[in-house]
Amino acid sequence: MSLTSPSADPLVRSPADGVEPAWFDRFYTNLHLGSEGPLVLIGAGVYPAERLVDGYAVAVTKSEQINARFSGTVTGARLPSEVGPLSWETVEPLRQWRVRLADNPSGIACDLLWTARTPVWGCDLVTLDDGHGAVSSFDHAFQSGYHRGWVEIDGSRMVVEGWTGQRDRSRGRRPATARQGLHLWVQAQFTHESIAFMLDLDRAGQATLLDGAVLGTDGTLDRIVAVDHDLTFDEHLEAGPGRLGLRTSGGRHLMLAVDPTVNRGGFLAGAGYGGFHGRPHGPAHLEHDRWDLSDPDKVPRALSYPLADRLSAFTRVEPGNDEAGAGVFEFAHTRSPAYRYRPGRAAR
């Protein structure tokens, strides 16, 4: 069932017979006010075959990345909608979600109500090959909204009203590695639209995935059909300023300038990507840590997993329609010496 269906929006609660190992159902949301920070990332997933549930919260300030990871085993007949201090609720499918993080040793806490501001975009079924003949697939959808409520970092509580949040849903199986060269997940927020897409390049520099759209606050969806990319990465695989030229099925031609250097952090290794998720850690596991973002070892090449969700400044350049915005620029440049990024074009 497509994740754009209201009935499929909540995370599954009833373990189904025959669910294969490593099948997951996950949500993610981010939270920011412009590009100045802080950035908060929250997510959770259930794994029916393993009878596990886990989640995370990450807060990125100018100097630190604070990480909290939670895991638990399922003992009852239903999969829970909570793990440790983290809980989630689908208030109205495809319209409102609530996420709460109770007091815990990490110093991050929140009570947030997310309300959609654009329609949901359902990606085509994503099929990945792990390079060894194993093929798996998963559903993916994303949607832009606003948060209200509060978030607390180290005892300092901020009232949240109108902070932007991109919600992401995924369900299925995916291999630990898809032999990618570059992965991008771009979520650029502007006053009346969210420019949202995924782009994957293989190690030969060819596009293996391009899926997304311009999501309008007026309810419109305009599929992105081609991307020109001119990005920069340093020797540590950190992203620098770059440009993305987009063409839509509705005939728009626009350029996105992205500057991911206005902030640091957003490293998803701290959220548990690349090894923590979907693995047993005991019945009620909580761990947390803090990363000094001035530490020279806190770079994608040196971390256990190179994926980063970077709070970034965006500028949309379009004849008569330029606008400054902000959002999350997710990137992962493989550490394999078989690939080095080259500018180019990805057509769908």
pLDDT exceeds cutoff 70 at 133: no
**DSSP designation for 48:** T
Q: What is the CATH number of the domain that holds 53?
A: 2.40.370.10
Q: Is 162 left (phi over 0), alpha (psi -120 to 50) or beta?
A: left
Judge whether 254 lies within some domain. Answer: yes
Q: Are 151 and 109 in contact (CB under 8 A)?
A: yes
- Residue 343 φ then ψ, to 5°: -60, 150
pLDDT in tens, 149-163: 999 999 999 999 999
**DSSP designation for 32:** B
Judge whether 320 lies within some domain. Answer: yes
Judge whether 258 lies within some domain. Answer: yes
Judge whether 5 lies within some domain. Answer: no
Judge whether 201 lies within some domain. Answer: yes
Q: Of the candidates 335, 332, 339, 333, which has an alpha carbon nearest to the alpha carbon of residue 204?
A: 339
pLDDT exceeds cutoff 70 at 258: yes
Judge whether 15 lies within some domain. Answer: no
Instruction: Write down how long the chain is.
Output: 348
- Predicted pLDDT at 345: 86
Judge whether 148 lies within some domain. Answer: yes
Query: pTM for the whole thing?
Result: 0.95
Q: Is the dihedral of CA 213, 252, 209, 188 positive or negative?
A: negative
Judge whether 8 lies within some domain. Answer: no
- Give the residue numbers spanning the domain of 195: 21-347
Q: Which amino acid is at 270?
A: G
Report the distance separating Cα 174 and Cα 20, nearest Å: 12
Q: Of the candidates 330, 65, 343, which has an alpha carbon nearest to the alpha carbon of residue 188?
A: 330
What is the residue-averaged pLDDT of the chain? Answer: 93
Domains identified in the chain, total number? 1
